[in-house]
Amino acid sequence: MPLTPAVFHVLLALAGEERHGYAILKEILRLTGGGMRMQAGTLYGTLQRLLEADLVEQVPPPRGRAHADSRRRYYRLTRAGRRVLSGEVDRMAALVRVARSLT
C-alpha cells in the first residue's frame, strides 16, 4: 500500500545513515529542496509508528558523539524498513512510467 508522505520521507532520510530527529528534518528539507517541511510533532509521531512497526530502530549515538547531547536519540532503518522503502520507490517509479506514457 502507498506510504504516507511523512513515512516515505523519514524512511528516505534514514536510507543513507543513522540520524537524530533534527538531522532527519534537515535531510528531508535537503532532499526535497525545501518542498517538504515537517513539524517536530509529525516527525516524532511518525518515528514512534515506525519503531512500533519495526521499520526503524533506535541506536546508540555514533562514536565520539555519545556525550555531545544525551537527549538526542538516533534512528536507523531496519532490514524491513529498507525493503518497505525500496518497494515504495519501485511502486512510485512504475506509476511515473504509466503517467509519462499517458502525457
* Helix, strand, coil shares, percent, the chain, to 5: 55, 10, 35
> What are the pLDDT digits (tens) for 46-82?
999 999 999 999 998 877 665 667 788 999 999 999 9
DSSP state of 15: S
> What are the pLDDT digits (tens) for 1-31?
789 999 999 999 999 999 999 999 999 999 9
Task: Specify the fold of 5-102.
Answer: Arc Repressor Mutant, subunit A (1.10.10)
pTM over 0.75: yes
Please report, for the chain, the start and end positions of each structural domain, with discontinuous segments joined by +: 5-102
Q: 60-84 b/e with 16+ CB inside 10 Å = b?
A: ebeeeeeeeeeeeebbebbeebeeb
* Residue at grid coordinates 543513522: 18
